[in-house]
Amino acid sequence: MYIKNAWYVAAWSADLATAAPLAITMLDEPLVLYRDDAGRAVALEDRCCHRLAPLSHGRVEGRDIRCLYHGLKFAPDGTCNDMPGHTAIPKAMRVRAYPVAERHSALWVWMGDPARADATQIPDFRGPDHPDWAMLPGRMDYAADYRLIQDNLLDLSHVPYVHRASFGRSDARINDAWTRATVHVAPLAQGVHVTRWLTDTPAQPFLGQPAGARVDVLNAFDYLVPGIFLLTTRHYAQGTAQRSPREAPTEAPLFATFSCQAVTPLTARTTCYFFAYGPWMRHPDAVAMKDGYATLALQAFNEDKTLIEAQQRIIDADPARPMTLFDVDRAPVQYNRLAASLMEQERR
């Protein structure tokens, strides 16, 4: 039910600011994350090999972590290097170590075969450290199957309904533009690329357009294995969509926002949703606008959460009941087919 050979976001870097070990269950596996005395992040199985006590109740000592039940100490590679009262340490005294990389202000953990972990494959997530975007990070815990959250992100036709008051700003012209939009879905090696033009929508006041002006907004995202959502929203002069119906035009937009999100399955019914959202730094008021965008995003993501958790309860009440899909589901169907084939390859 999970893709294992992939980098998953386990935490924002700031969530692991101190030496205190952090327990997180990912893909039904208990992990402990900690920083060693040089600030490097380590990810180990959160289960001491002796009597299976959680290492997250332990203590970081230099590069290592000591189990505070009977004192075994483990190195970042999972080997036991101190067994109180013993000089010879059996090889079986070890815990699983997970490759971990710190990129884009986030901690990424490789959940599969360590020999295949390649940190250069981590996608172009943009966190609060990015110079071009004024990003504010956040996270949310869901009581839902990660696949319901993925399907929601892959099919943004829900925006004028779930988010009519937040992203839609209770403005019928914005919500109508979402309903009218033609959606293009293209396969990627590791996911899908989805674009839609929202044409003839009211220009936001800060765009410096005359009162009542309309703009065309290009909404384009990549959804990548194992659940990474990278969305750019660019505002252009009205008429741009007609001139450039499939691709982003070459000229710079009037304004843009970026959002990166990561869906990390914890267990079959719990998921951690990491997100960052913010305006383009090239706008003179970007920094001043950043809190407003983060607040708007949080409002919208809570709208998704309320709906998806309710959907999960309905599904669980009658799990055999099938869904009836239609053309708005093209991107989720394509992505889920790719994910299923990757899981199948891993099983072989």
Question: Residues interacting with Fe ion, by CB under 5 A?
Answer: 304
Contact yes or no for 125/258 (Cβ under 8 A): no
**From the list Fe ion, ligand FES, none, partner contacted by residue 51 (C-beta under 5 to 8 A by kind):** ligand FES
d(CA 125, CA 331): 20
Task: Give 15: exposed, middle or buried? Use CB within 10 Å, 0-12, 13-18, 19+.
Answer: middle
Amino acid at 249: P
Minimum CB distance to ligand FES, residue 95 (Å): 10
Measured from the CB atom, is 4 or 50 closer to ligand FES?
50
By beta-carbon proximity to ligand FES, the closer residue of 94 and 104 is 94
When CB distances are held under 5 to 8 angstroms depending on the partner's kind, the choice from Fe ion, ligand FES, none that residue 72 binds is ligand FES
174 touches which of ligand FES, Fe ion, none (CB within 5 to 8 A by kind)?
Answer: none
Considering beta carbons, is residue 71 or 76 the nearer one to ligand FES?
71
Of the residues 9, 10, 32, 48, which one makes contact with ligand FES according to CB under 6 A: 48
Q: Which two tokens stand for residue 312?
A: 């999960």
In the complex, least distance from residue 54 CB atom to ligand FES, rounded to whole angstroms: 9
The sign one gets for the Cα dihedral 311, 315, 316, 317 is: positive
Which of Fe ion, ligand FES, none interacts with 69 (beta carbon under 5 to 8 A by kind)? ligand FES
Q: Are 264 and 140 in contact (CB under 8 A)?
A: no
Contact (Cβ atoms closer than 8 angstroms) between residue 111 and residue 236: no
Q: Is 283 helix (H, G, I), strand (E, B) or coil?
A: coil
Nearer to ligand FES, 50 or 193 (CB): 50
Name the binder of 304 from Fe ion, ligand FES, none, CB < 5-8 A by kind.
Fe ion
**Which strands form 97-98's sheet, in the order they lie side by side?**
22-26, 29-35, 41-45, 97-98
Q: Should residue 51 be labelled a site residue for ligand FES when binding is judged by CB under 6 A?
A: yes
How far is residue 122's CA from residue 228's CA, in Å, rounded to a whole number? 10
Binders of ligand FES in range 199-218 (CB under 6 A): none
96 interface partner picked from Fe ion, ligand FES, none, CB below 5 to 8 A per type: none
Task: Convert 53-79 to b/e letters by CB count within 10 Å (16 or more is b).
Answer: bbbbebbbeebbbbbeeeebbbbbebe
> Which entry of Fe ion, ligand FES, none binds 148, CB below 5 to 8 A by partner kind?
none
Q: How far is the CB of 63 from ligand FES (least distance, A)?
A: 18
Footprint on residues 52-91 left by ligand FES (CB under 6 A): 53, 67, 69-72
Q: Which residues of 330-341 are buried (b: 16+ CB within 10 A; e: fewer)?
A: bbbebbbebbee
Q: Name residues contacting ligand FES, limited to 17-36 (CB under 6 A).
A: none
Nearer to ligand FES, 51 or 313 (CB): 51
- Determine how many CB atoms are found less than 10 A away from the CB of residue 286: 20
Contact residues for ligand FES, defined by CB under 6 A: 48, 50-51, 53, 67, 69-72
